[in-house]
Structure 1
Amino acid sequence: MTANAHQALHWLSQQCRLIDAAARGVVFLGEPESGSYRAVATWPGDFTAGPAVANAAQAAVSQRAIVFTALEAAAAKSGAPGEVAAAPLIIEGRIHGAVAIELPRATNGQRQAIAQMLTAGSAWFGQCAMDADSARTKQLALTTDLIATALAPRRFAAATMALATELATHLGCERVSIGLVRERRVKLTALSHSTGFSDKQQLIQTIEAAMGEALDRETTIACPAVSDQNPAGGLAHAQLVRRHHMKAVLTVPLHRGQELLGAIAFERGAEQPAFDAETVTLCEQIAALLGPILELRRREERPLHVAIRESLHARLTRLFGPGHITLKLATTVAVALVALALLMPGQYQVTAEAVLEGTVERVVAAPHKGFLQSVSARPGDVLAEGATLATLDDRDLRLEQIKWSAKQQQVSSEFRRALAEHDRANVGIMSAQLAQAEAQLALIEKQLARLQLTAPFAGIVVSGDVAKELGAPVERGQALFKIAPLEGYRVILKVDEGDIADVRVGQHGRLTLTAAPGEGLPIVVERVTPVAVADAEANYFRVEARLDRPPAFLRPGMQGVAKVDIESRQLAWIWTHSLFNWLRLELWSWLP
């Protein structure tokens, strides 16, 4: 247990006056049995303890007894020889500090009297400290009980009723009432020792009027008045005392910060004591603690419409009430922007994903069945006209060429023999077989010539990564490469089906590519495909556009975002039309 500095100063002043009119003293306090104590009170107020005084106090603590130490004239504050009387401050058997008093030189008889006064005084100081600590402990227990009472019940009404009853029991009141502000007036919420009451009862109306007086004055009101700090009650308080035979009424406002939440009215009957200053202070502390807790419980049980209404009212109060300059400026700017959006026109644009394609794309296919022997080009390669793309394996054709070459020589020999023998029938047959062999050799020569796949014109390889398929079989007509020229491009827009009705041929816009986000390329819509294309996300329409001035860095396959200028419309419509269209569709789908 420790004593506070205010109590120590009061006790020290009394001790110094009792011992000697010229006595000066200091009280040292600290943690019990710590051995380290600091000065918490001096008498008179301008007295400064010197080393001799501090040493005397330390000696008293060490010896656990009263000590007297001589004080030379140079060390004494009075300038005359004196002495220091020091005594330990023992509370419940433990040293909490010491008191040291500087006084004029005393006789042995005077020292005995001083020692007796210090012994009695230190005992009285310890008792006061224990009493004060016991009072604080009781107040702490009361506070804890009240918080538990306010939070334990599940319903707010039960919590306030239990809280009012608990307050009446602990504070010795005949009746305790709790009222909260509703629609700018206080309404009684709970009455101690009562589960229900009627708003039309005269008692209830008088209590509410008394609470209203306290809230109007924004201060605690006691009737009769306790001190100048607590003004006497008004008419409602006087009526409550007179008509209902009460000895005293105390009304304390409930608040959270600067916001008044309600009030608590404490009433004591004729056989109970009136409220004193200490009780008023305790009630004010309880109200300061319970106000935010009750408001939190009340807000938890609000219906939805009440919560919305109160939230809107609070925001409007902040907006139109005093203060909150930043909120007012922000609201003014927001309103100005909204008004500007409603009145100011803007350019309505349709935004769509876009990809760049070549105007002409040539497919290079396999001329006949075979196997890939080598690949010289990959997607992204820029090629000149006639550059080699890939080569097919010619071994099968070479064998076929050797076969038909031998066949030609054989048929040619037989043809000459038939001529020599004038065998007309055989000459005709051999002549047909010889023509067949020559045709087959000519066909093989052409096929051999086409084994090397070349670029039909200068351009870039758009697709056809077959380098990893060397030796794989290919079929006749199988597409191996796709080549596009470098000078001709078209833009393919994927326009959402909700915006396609606004897109027309000839409209202008701009294209921003991922490769060049800072550069907008002008485009013109040339074709709108009337058939929707479905993908995993949504349906879209394919719209073709041309580039007015294509830069040199363009390549087929580049992607970006295109915006097509439609017409001038209000900014509010531009920002909200998609949402309203979606809402109209959803409502239509749900309505019968």
Structure 2
Amino acid sequence: MSRLRTAAPRQRIHAADGPAAASDSAVQQLAAIMRAAKSRDALYAAVAKWLSQRPRFAAVGFFTAGENATLDFGPHTFDGPAFDSDAFLTNAIATAEQAQQSRLTVTTNAANIRNVTLISVPLTSSNANPPLDQPIAADVLTAAIVTSPDERADDSLLQLAAANIGMWHSDHRNTELQRQLRSTAATLDLLATIETADNFRSGCMALVNTLNQHLRCRGFVLAIRKRGRDHRLKVEAVAGMANVDSRSSLTSSLIDALHECVDRATLSTFPADDHEDRTALLAHRKLCGELQATKLISHPLKTTDNQVVGAWMAVYDSTDIPADADTLLRVASPRIADALRLSQQASATFFRQPANKARWRWLKRFTVASTLAAAVLAVPVQYRVHCDCAAEPDVRRFIVAPHEGLIEKTFVQSGDVVTAGQLLAAMDGRDVRWELAGLAAEREKAAKEHDSSLLQGDAAAAQRATLELRRIAAREHVLQRRKVQLQVTSPVNGIVLDGHLDRVENAPVTIGQALYEVAELSPVTVEVAIPDDEFSNVAAGFEVSVKFNGIDETFTGTIERIHPRSEIRDADNVFIAEVVLSNASEQLRPGMKGYARVEGETHSLAWNLFHKPWEHLRKSLPF
């Protein structure tokens, strides 16, 4: 409106008086107006109408702050010829501006109207820095009150109304702040839903399903603008529907309604309270009829740099609509638009394409598995060599025939355990006894000849008889010794390994012929057959665990020596390592076979598993 500047009439500025003079009924009526008001304009209109009906109130109006803090007429009851003059309007505006600037109640006489006083009361808030951008502190309540000359106008009702309006603004500001906080928390949850999705499509589905549950609506629709020159929207996801038929008439109506929302570039609600909005939302009207819905709420998805990504819409078929539904759609729109644009751009890259998603997941799993495998293979483990082994006696004793003759009887056979001095066999002693008897006769004869020669004084004959006696005595000594050796005994405690005369009697033997082989049972030497490819990994002093067939006990010892020359055993080229065991329990027998485990040096698990294949590979290479 035009601004006319005239000389201001006499004015009185004073601090706001309290509403103590107001009646209880006025307080109750104002409280009812505050509870019923849904918007600022509705509140101002109701208060202006209520004050105009009070005694002495000729007219009431509100001045609302516009751009650059200029005041514009809001809801008012300044009707009639008395209030249509430019002088009155200029006077009223000047009074309101003075009250706005001074934040005090301003009282002045109305221009060109007798017995009428203008009172302007600034509408202030308890919070000097309101959290929301609302012109509470800049609005002014102005009333034209009929007064008699020299009568001071009573502004108690105006002060009461201003106080109630301030409380209403504070309550609504707090309510709006709570809605925005809830919307911010919900926005964070929605962003997390998009970020944790496997791809753009699943992120959109998770988004609409989450919003559909949070807003308690019948359905929720998300449309994304296509790339390229054609900026048409495409229905990307619908709550509760895995697939959307893009050729159906309902989908076309959805796209038209969302395009209408994008073109309006603001929150669109149908049915709308404003008649102009109701007539402008033709596509929303059509869609609401097709869906038989009670309300549609849509909002464009614009990024923080004002780029349109798409639009979304909530569909309700009941009156149970959350109060913060429109706030959430409006507040969350920029952040969700940014997240959707980034997710859509990322979906075009190699690692986020659906065709390669499984490959990327497999690559990540393979990387983790390889890292774990490398860590496990690097663990130090003692290397062990598994070999065949056999028990052999530590000392072997051969019992031979002491002289030629016949074996009269044998008493042991192979495998028998014998003790030192035990009779093994007896030789036939008849020849020895016969010869000893002949020598006894010859000795008596030689003795008589010796005596006779001495009597006859034949010294030579006596000497010959003496020599003959000596020969006979020597022969008798030999025969007596042979007689003692007719009993063949074991020189040691042990086991008979070999007996050539088992169950044989009257068999002729020659001097020095081996009759038995006896080995001691303790200690026992275990011969460990080390494969030639493991020879470099074994050394004297390594601990060995031995287990024999048929014996549950495990024997342990250390390698005493390793034969420097390899041998062929069971068609394998091996090196023999000797391990001496005490065998105190005499469980081990020579010739017993088993297997041995040599505890080698400590290497990594990878070396333990792969050093043999690596050696074979190196040998097979031509260089």
TM-score computed with the length of structure 1 as normaliser: 0.40
TM-score computed with the length of structure 2 as normaliser: 0.38
| Structure with bigger gyration radius | 2
